[in-house]
């Protein structure tokens, strides 16, 4: 039996054989099953276009990404049921673009990629690339402690349009230096990548010699470095592009240690001010940010950022556990800090302290 579904595609069915066992389940409506779809080559080409030839853009993407001064690790807001709130997400990204941000990290620690399924993760990268890829560089956090997972996610990320990936070193199940180099080589082969060194989270520092070896790869973009400005200075003296991963050190990293810029959490709140700090050595403006940065990191990121975005009405007060809001006294302190900075420097029109009962914790979604 055959069914024609288009002039060039033929679907063939055969009668299903008896399974050999009895069941109380209702029999299927049809006793035929689909076994194959045949098509001429032209039809296959139309139905299944080849992946976007991102490898043709690799050199351009490496060079473009290396020029970025301000990259925001963008927050992922949620609906009341715990799913992504894409409407609020889009507003956040659009505000970043308006304020001079040149790139976003999608699904990073700040964006809670570790609390997402890979399907959610890749969907958010695709959504961002499709809607905003012409306005900023989309960098997908597709790293993993499993090389196989990192490869698969990175391949998917490039297929849906990201410009570069962010690659962490394997954590918890730490590996040897030889294994670490092999892991990075594998993901670098897939396309432009920023190596992310944050031993406070991974429990393992990425040594200089590993980064120097990675820098020989044509797809190496640079390093997001969280161990301090001495390491950043060491790399930049060798011509290795480096972004500070610490907001409290980013100003000096940029103007004293030679960093290209910062991959920032705080720029979710004050993007235009952080852009100014990356462009100009304005010490007074830098001091203006210090208390806010300290407040945001009183608990592990992204707890402080989530709380403040909710206080400012830019995200619904919904947490995916295990994250929960700051206590009320800390929220009062945060509101005071923003008032002193001046709301005109922030993405908020107003800030509320809120009650504890206003916040919702989601353990499943």
Query: Do you know the residue count of the chain?
Result: 365
35 and 159 belong to one structural domain: no
179 and 292 belong to one structural domain: yes
Which residue, of 277, 298, 319, is where some domain finishes? 298
Which residue, of 260, 280, 298, is where some domain finishes? 298
- Active-site residue (options: 78, 89, 132, 196): 196
- Active-site residue (options: 224, 235, 326, 345): 224
- Weakest-pLDDT range from 28-37, 57-66, 123-132, 323-332: 28-37
Is 313 domain-assigned? no
213 and 279 belong to one structural domain: yes
Catalytic residue list contains 196: yes
Is 350 domain-assigned? no
Residue with token string 């409506």:
29
Give mean pLDDT, residues 229-237. Answer: 98
Share of the chain above pLDDT 90, in %: 83
Nearest residue to 158 (alpha-carbon basis) of 106, 208, 218, 116: 106
Is 17 domain-assigned? yes
- The total number of structural domains in the chain stands at 2
- Predicted confidence band at 337 (pLDDT cuts at 50, 70, 90)? very high
Is 333 domain-assigned? no
Angle 327-332-336 from CA coordinates, rounded to 5° = 145
Q: Is the pLDDT of residue 49 over 90?
A: no
Give mean pLDDT, residues 146-174. Answer: 97
Give mean pLDDT, residues 126-154. Answer: 98
Look at residue 8 in the predicted model and tell me its pLDDT.
40
Residue with token string 């900023």:
136
Share of the chain above pLDDT 70, in %: 84
94 and 162 belong to one structural domain: yes
Look at residue 60 in the predicted model and tell me its pLDDT.
79
Give mean pLDDT, residues 213-219. Answer: 98
Q: Is the pLDDT of residue 24 over 50?
A: no
213 and 230 belong to one structural domain: yes
Look at residue 13 in the predicted model and tell me its pLDDT.
40
- Predicted confidence band at 365 (pLDDT cuts at 50, 70, 90)? confident
20 and 71 belong to one structural domain: no
Give mean pLDDT, residues 169-175. Answer: 94
Q: Is the pLDDT of residue 50 over 90?
A: no
Per-residue pLDDT tens over the stretch 290-308: 999 999 999 999 999 999 9
Per-residue pLDDT tens over the stretch 251-286: 999 999 999 999 999 999 999 999 999 999 999 999
Which residue, of 298, 321, 339, is where some domain finishes? 298
Give mean pLDDT, residues 84-97. Answer: 98
28 and 147 belong to one structural domain: no
Per-residue pLDDT tens over the stretch 343-363: 999 999 999 999 999 999 999
Is 362 domain-assigned? no
73 and 31 belong to one structural domain: no
Catalytic residue list contains 224: yes
Pairing of strands 9-15, 32-39: antiparallel
Quote the CA–CA distance of 120 and 123 in Å, as a whole number. 5
- Predicted confidence band at 6 (pLDDT cuts at 50, 70, 90)? very low
Look at residue 267 in the predicted model and tell me its pLDDT.
99
33 and 62 belong to one structural domain: no
What's the CATH number where 132 sits?
A: 3.20.20.70
Question: Domain span at residue 10?
Answer: 2-47
Phi, psi for 117 (deg, rounded to 5): -75, 160
């Amino acid at each position: 039996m055959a069914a024609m579904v288009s002039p060039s595609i033929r679907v063939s069915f055969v009668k299903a054989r008896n399974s050999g066992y009895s069941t109380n389940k209702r029999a299927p409506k049809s006793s035929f099953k689909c076994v194959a779809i045949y098509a001429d080559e032209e039809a296959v080409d139309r139905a299944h276009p080849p992946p976007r030839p991102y490898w043709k853009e690799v050199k351009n993407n490496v060079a473009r990404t290396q020029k970025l001064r301000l990259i925001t690790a963008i927050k992922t807001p949620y609906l009341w049921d715990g799913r992504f709130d894409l409407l609020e997400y889009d507003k956040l990204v659009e505000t970043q673009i308006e304020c001079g941000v040149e790139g976003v990290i999608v699904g990073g620690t700040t964006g809670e990629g570790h609390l997402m399924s890979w399907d959610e993760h890749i969907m958010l990268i695709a959504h961002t690339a499709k809607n905003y890829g012409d306005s900023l560089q989309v960098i997908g956090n597709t790293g993993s402690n499993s090389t196989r997972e990192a490869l698969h996610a990175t391949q998917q990320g490039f297929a849906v349009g990201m410009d570069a990936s962010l690659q962490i070193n394997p954590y918890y199940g730490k590996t040897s230096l030889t294994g670490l180099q092999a892991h990075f080589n594998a993901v670098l082969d897939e396309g432009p990548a920023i190596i992310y060194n944050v031993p406070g989270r991974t429990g393992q520092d990425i040594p200089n010699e590993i980064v120097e070896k990675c820098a020989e790869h044509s797809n190496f973009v640079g390093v997001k470095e969280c161990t301090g400005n001495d390491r950043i200075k060491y790399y930049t003296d060798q011509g290795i592009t480096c972004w500070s991963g610490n907001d409290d050190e980013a100003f000096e990293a940029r103007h004293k240690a030679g960093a290209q810029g910062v991959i920032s959490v705080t720029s979710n709140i004050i993007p235009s001010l952080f852009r100014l700090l990356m462009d100009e050595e304005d010490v007074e403006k830098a001091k203006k940010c210090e208390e806010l940065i300290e407040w945001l990191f009183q608990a592990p990121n992204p707890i402080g950022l989530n709380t403040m975005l909710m206080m400012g009405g830019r995200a619904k007060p919904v947490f995916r556990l295990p994250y929960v809001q700051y206590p009320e006294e800390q929220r009062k302190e945060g509101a005071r800090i923003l008032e002193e900075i001046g709301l005109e420097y922030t993405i908020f029109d107003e800030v509320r302290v809120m009650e504890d009962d206003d916040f919702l914790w989601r353990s499943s979604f």
